[in-house]
């Protein structure tokens, strides 16, 4: 019998292969354009870093902090949720984590038992699939519906994926890699369905403020339809603080209290310097986010324009997030991304990593518009 445990049920994501190849080529001195990572390639808010500098100078004790987070950081996140997303949040219903990924793990471990089922929408974010399986639960997939050039939530497909063992449904909006921002009506219907079936709705909102007008994000927790909503947030995306590993989740008081057991077992608390950076980021939201979205739109347009002349791909206009999904005229997307990287030095991510074979995810958030235009020129010279 193999010594392997739960990890044996998970396939290594093809993204790891692409990253390994990229490192190898970089080692050979190749000039790569990375359109792989789903991040905002901008410096984080100045205040976030300043606050950390002040904190280091004023602190002599470096001890464990309260599990759910510094009281001021919890209050800052609650204020953000109230003011920016219309969620009736309070500090005691928020926990700071090492990124939204850990927030997802905490949430799933707190509301499921092994053997329970969790419904994920596809195309979707592979780490959710991994986390559900690592929790000993079963993943049920429900496809998003491609309609009028955008992805939409398919309530019928979700219902078909559910049964009496279903504990939770996961929504990612803005969606990775779909670029979908669920409409208010879709979100309402999803809440109504989850309320009727009495299942948790885990709402991953890490790209929340990164939407493209006239589209904007609606949190299911702001609608007052369903009590059992857990909101996941991150400072990695909107505030470009990915290396600081800080995010959060907010939910009903009893769920939050219960999940502190998971928090303690995994990390005790999110790194305090990162929580301080998070507070600085929230203070900067008005000054920082509009400019970040403007830069993102310029980058998105550079990519959409550049891809227009490339008959190999058919790009879907994203409604939010830092990337787009494009359909390929070829079948093996993993080989496609590797060949593209070897020949042109452009890093992209195969759609099969997200349950979208035959597609490629191309990020525009992490490169200036000129660099994206150059990447497109290189890609157009590549014949799949």
Ligand X SMILES: Cc1ncc(COP(=O)(O)O)c(C=O)c1O
Contact present, 176 and 122 (Cβ < 8 Å): no
Residue 281 is a binding residue for ligand X (CB under 6 A): no
State how far the Cα of 345 lies from the Cα of 14, in Å rounded to an integer: 17
Q: How many Cα neighbours within 13 Å face the side chain of 254?
A: 3
Residue 275 is a binding residue for ligand X (CB under 6 A): no
Q: Which of 18, 35, 38, 48 binds ligand X (CB under 6 A)?
A: 38
DSSP string, 53-110: HHHHHH--------TT--HHHHHHHHHHHHHHH-----GGGEEEESHHHHHHHHHHHH
Cα separation values, 317 from 6, 150, 209, 211, Å: 37, 7, 17, 12
Residue 176 is a binding residue for ligand X (CB under 6 A): yes
Contact present, 110 and 134 (Cβ < 8 Å): no
CB of 249 to ligand X, least distance (A): 11
Which segment (95-103, 154-162, 332-340, 372-380) binds ligand X by CB under 6 A?
A: 95-103
State how far the Cα of 358 lies from the Cα of 28, in Å rounded to an integer: 29
Contact present, 271 and 277 (Cβ < 8 Å): no
Q: Which residue is nearest to ligand X (CB)?
A: 99
Number of shown-chain residues binding ligand X (CB under 6 A): 13
CB of 174 to ligand X, least distance (A): 8
Q: Which of 236, 259, 274, 275 binds ligand X (CB under 6 A)?
A: 236
Residue 318 is a binding residue for ligand X (CB under 6 A): no
CB of 331 to ligand X, least distance (A): 25
Residue 100 is a binding residue for ligand X (CB under 6 A): yes
Residue 234 is a binding residue for ligand X (CB under 6 A): yes
- What are the residues facing 141 on neighbouring strands? 120
Q: Which of 220, 247, 355, 365 binds ligand X (CB under 6 A)?
A: 247
Which segment (19-27, 73-81, 99-107, 282-290) binds ligand X by CB under 6 A?
A: 99-107
* DSSP letter assigned to residue 211: B
CB of 305 to ligand X, least distance (A): 25
Residue 142 is a binding residue for ligand X (CB under 6 A): no
Contact present, 301 and 320 (Cβ < 8 Å): no
Residue 18 is a binding residue for ligand X (CB under 6 A): no
Residue 101 is a binding residue for ligand X (CB under 6 A): yes
CB of 37 to ligand X, least distance (A): 8
Residue 99 is a binding residue for ligand X (CB under 6 A): yes
Show contacts with ligand X in window 182-211 (CB under 6 A).
204, 206
Residue 322 is a binding residue for ligand X (CB under 6 A): no
Helices (H), 86-198: 99-111, 126-134, 155-160, 184-197
- Where b means 16+ CB within 10 Å and e means fewer, 260-284 reads eebbeeebebbebbbbbbbbbbbbb
Residue 131 is a binding residue for ligand X (CB under 6 A): no
CB of 100 to ligand X, least distance (A): 4
**Which residues of the chain form contacts with ligand X (CB under 6 A)?**
38, 99-101, 125, 172, 176, 204, 206, 234, 236, 242, 247
């Amino acid at each position: 019998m193999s010594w392997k445990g739960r990890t044996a049920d998970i396939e290594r994501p093809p993204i790891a292969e692409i990253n390994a190849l990229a490192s190898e080529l970089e080692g050979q001195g190749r000039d790569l354009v990375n359109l792989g990572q789903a991040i905002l390639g901008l410096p984080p808010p100045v205040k976030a870093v300043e606050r950390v500098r002040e904190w280091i100078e004023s602190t002599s004790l470096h001890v464990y902090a309260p599990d759910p987070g510094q009281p001021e950081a919890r209050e800052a996140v609650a204020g953000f949720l109230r003011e920016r997303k219309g969620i009736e949040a309070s500090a005691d219903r928020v926990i700071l984590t090492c990124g939204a990924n850990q927030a997802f793990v905490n949430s799933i471990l707190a509301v499921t038992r092994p053997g329970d089922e969790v419904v994920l929408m596809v195309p979707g974010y592979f780490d959710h699939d991994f986390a559900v399986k690592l929790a000993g639960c079963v993943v049920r997939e429900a496809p998003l519906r491609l309609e009028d050039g955008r992805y939409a939530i398919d309530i019928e497909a979700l219902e078909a994926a559910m049964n009496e063992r279903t504990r939770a449904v996961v929504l990612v909006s803005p969606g990775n890699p779909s670029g979908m921002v669920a409409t208010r009506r879709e979100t309402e219907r999803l809440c109504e369905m989850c309320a009727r079936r009495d299942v948790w709705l885990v709402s991953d909102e890490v790209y929340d403020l990164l939407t493209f007008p006239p589209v904007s994000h609606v949190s299911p927790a702001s609608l007052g339809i369903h009590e059992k909503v857990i909101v996941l947030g991150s400072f990695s995306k909107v505030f470009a603080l990915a290396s600081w590993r800080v995010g959060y989740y907010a939910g009903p008081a009893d769920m939050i209290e219960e999940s502190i057991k998971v928090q303690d077992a995994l990390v005790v608390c999110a790194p305090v310097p990162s929580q301080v950076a998070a507070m600085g980021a929230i203070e900067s939201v008005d000054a920082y986010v509009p400019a970040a979205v403007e830069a993102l739109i310029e980058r998105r347009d550079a990519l959409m324009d550049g891809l227009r002349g490339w008959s190999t791909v058919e790009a879907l206009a994203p409604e939010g997030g830092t990337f787009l999904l494009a359909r390929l005229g070829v079948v093996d997307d993993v080989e496609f991304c590797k060949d593209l990287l070897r020949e042109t030095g452009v890093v992209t991510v195969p759609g099969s990593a997200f349950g979208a074979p035959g597609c490629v995810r191309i990020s525009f958030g992490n490169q200036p518009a000129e660099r994206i235009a150059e990447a497109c020129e290189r890609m157009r010279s590549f014949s799949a």
